[in-house]
């Protein structure tokens, strides 16, 4: 597992020597291609993941700059998942009930996307402010009446664009943003700066424990700079003067954490036993040792061979195979498994019009609309965003009419 590298840990600056998994190389996973781009060169970046032997932060080297990844043509819009909208609404209602936010509060969401979550606070007359670097998703939020600043969040932004203008938040939240942050120390420092004295911070992110346990290598891509245990994220927040006072385990994205933090000086909130309990469980699993992160490559490669076997067998049997969900995790799976063109997977379907009639990066598989399924009548539909398999299989239940079946590969082959 040793690897000579000059890459430094993005939290503690320790030289990274230990490889967690090497997914070789691929383009940024959300870099969808227009038809006119198919004959142009694509830029591939190494996708090698390290684990820091000092703070146990799992991370990718920043081969592609965040500014290039989260550009004005970002194709992920949160509002196209009904289950994610329901999750956002439940969160807003829970937080209002628990912390009594009202018309005198301010809720600040980092990476607010298309307003999928802040709309539920706004409906309850709680003032909101979104911050998001992607202009096209932010514009959708603005059209919903959600004030949104188009910018990257960090310490300088918090000082100059918020605090200097008298803006501090009662609640700062971010869902699936921590992984996307290249300079995590600067980012958390910004959260500290922008939070009111008795304010609350919540972030949700996939839990590294679940990634390892269920072989979720397809959640690894260039847009995700870091992968967090509770131990690692607690240490990062404490370094900036923010203290964990609660944590919840969630089923979203294959197993996520929702952390609750406050100013260390804030004595108005009790520390939940959930904090100590989860730290102890991670310790018992060995997540603070290098042994825990060994042999993951072998598990990933076994999944690759399973994908090959399934697709080649289906091809020989003249079965029609398509994918569903032009998600980043699907691109990681297809690219690492070497699936190219429409030979083994004829096309991929996605509900988002922002992805339709474009091509997946590297594999160059066409993304089509929902009606294409009924026209083509596939034998197998591979659910690429397997974390939404219940929602998707219910939505596409009509494929049973012609004997169609669903397929997922994570953590192992499942045909149902």
The C-alpha atoms of residue 255 and residue 210 are separated, in whole angstroms, by 6
- pTM, full prediction: 0.90
Please name the residue that has the structure tokens 């700059």. 65
Residues 6+ apart with CB under 8 A from 146: 112, 115, 118, 119, 122, 128, 130
Average model confidence (pLDDT) across the chain:
94
* Options 3.20.190.10, 3.40.50.720, 3.40.50.300, 3.30.70.100; CATH of 296-415: 3.40.50.720
pLDDT of residue 6: 58
CA distances from 68 to 71, 133, 327 (A): 6, 11, 18
Q: Which of 73-77, 85-89, 305-309, 342-346 has the lowest mean pLDDT?
A: 73-77
pLDDT score recorded for residue 15:
96
What is the rounded average pLDDT of the residues 389-410?
Answer: 97
pLDDT band of residue 2 (cuts 50, 70, 90) is very low
In the predicted model, what is the mean pLDDT of residues 264-289? 98
pLDDT for residue 3 is more than 80: no
Q: What is the DSSP string of 90-116?
A: HHHHHHHHHH---TT--EEEES-TTST
Can you give the three-state secondary structure of 183-227, one letter per residue?
CHHHHHHHHHHHEEEEEEEEEEEEEHHHHHHCCCHHHCCCCCCEE
Judge residue 416's burial from the number of C-beta atoms within 10 Å of its C-beta, 0-12 exposed, 13-18 middle, 19 or more buried.
exposed
φ/ψ of 344, rounded to 5, equals -100, -35
β-strand partners of 268: none
Kindly indicate whether the domain formed by 78-285 is annotated with CATH number 3.40.50.150. Answer: yes
Report in angstroms the alpha-carbon separations of 164 from 61, 161, 234. Answer: 34, 6, 28
Per-domain residue ranges of the chain: 78-285, 296-415
pLDDT for residue 353 is more than 70: yes
Q: How big, in percent rounded to 5, are the helix, strand and coil portions of the chain? A: 40, 25, 40
Question: Is the pLDDT at 5 greater than 50, yes or no?
Answer: no
Domains 78-285 and 296-415 share a fold: yes
Smallest Cα–Cα separation from 23: which of 42, 57, 46? 46
The reported pLDDT for the residue numbered 78 is 60
Q: For residue 30, what are its two tokens?
A: 């959300």
Strand partners, 98: none
Residue 379 C-alpha from the chain's centroid = 30
In tens, the pLDDT along 76-112 reads: 566 667 888 999 999 999 999 999 999 999 999 999 9
Residues 276/245, Cβ–Cβ less than 8 Å: no
Mean of pLDDT values over 197-211: 98
**Residue pLDDT, tens place only, 156-170:** 999 999 999 999 999
* pLDDT(16) > 70: yes
Whole-number pLDDT of residue 228? 98
Residue listed under structure tokens 């009111």: 196
């Amino acid at each position: 597992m040793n690897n000579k590298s000059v890459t430094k840990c993005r939290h503690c600056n320790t030289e990274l020597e230990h490889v967690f998994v090497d997914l070789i190389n691929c383009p940024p996973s959300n870099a969808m291609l227009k038809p006119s781009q198919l004959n142009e060169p694509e830029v591939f970046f190494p996708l090698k993941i390290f684990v820091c032997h000092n703070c146990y932060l799992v991370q990718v080297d920043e081969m592609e700059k965040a500014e290039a990844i989260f550009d004005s043509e970002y194709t992920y819009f949160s509002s196209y998942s009904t289950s994610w909208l329901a999750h956002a609404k439940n969160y807003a209602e829970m937080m209002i009930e628990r912390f009594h936010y009202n018309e005198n509060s301010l809720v600040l969401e980092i990476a607010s996307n298309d307003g999928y979550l802040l709309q539920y606070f706004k409906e309850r007359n709680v003032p909101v402010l979104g911050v998001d670097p992607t202009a096209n998703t932010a514009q959708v939020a603005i059209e919903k009446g959600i004030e949104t600043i188009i910018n990257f969040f960090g310490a300088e932004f918090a000082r100059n664009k918020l605090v200097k203008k008298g803006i501090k938040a009662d609640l700062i939240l971010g869902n699936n943003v921590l992984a996307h942050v290249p300079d995590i120390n600067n980012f958390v420092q910004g959260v500290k700066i922008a939070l009111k004295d008795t304010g609350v911070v919540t972030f949700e992110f996939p839990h590294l424990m679940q990634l390892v346990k269920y072989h979720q290598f397809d959640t690894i891509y260039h847009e995700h700079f870091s992968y967090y245990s509770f131990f690692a994220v607690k240490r990062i927040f404490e370094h900036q003067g923010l203290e964990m006072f609660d944590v919840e385990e969630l089923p979203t994205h294959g197993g996520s954490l929702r952390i609750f933090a406050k100013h260390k000086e804030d004595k108005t909130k009790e520390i939940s036993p959930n904090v100590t309990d989860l730290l102890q469980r991670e310790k018992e699993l060995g997540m603070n040792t290098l042994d825990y992160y060994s042999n993951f490559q072998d598990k990933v490669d076994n999944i690759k061979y399973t994908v090959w076997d399934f697709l080649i067998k289906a091809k020989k049997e003249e079965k029609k195979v398509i994918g569903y969900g032009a998600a980043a995790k699907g691109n990681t799976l297809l690219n690492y498994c070497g699936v190219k063109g429409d030979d083994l997977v004829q096309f991929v379907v996605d509900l988002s019009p922002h992805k339709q009639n474009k091509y997946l990066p590297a594999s160059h598989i066409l993304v089509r609309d929902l009606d294409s399924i009924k026209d083509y009548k596939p034998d197998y539909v591979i659910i690429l965003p397997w974390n939404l398999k219940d929602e998707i299989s219910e939505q596409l239940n009509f494929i049973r009419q012609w004997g169609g079946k669903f397929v997922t590969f994570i953590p192992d082959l499942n045909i149902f």
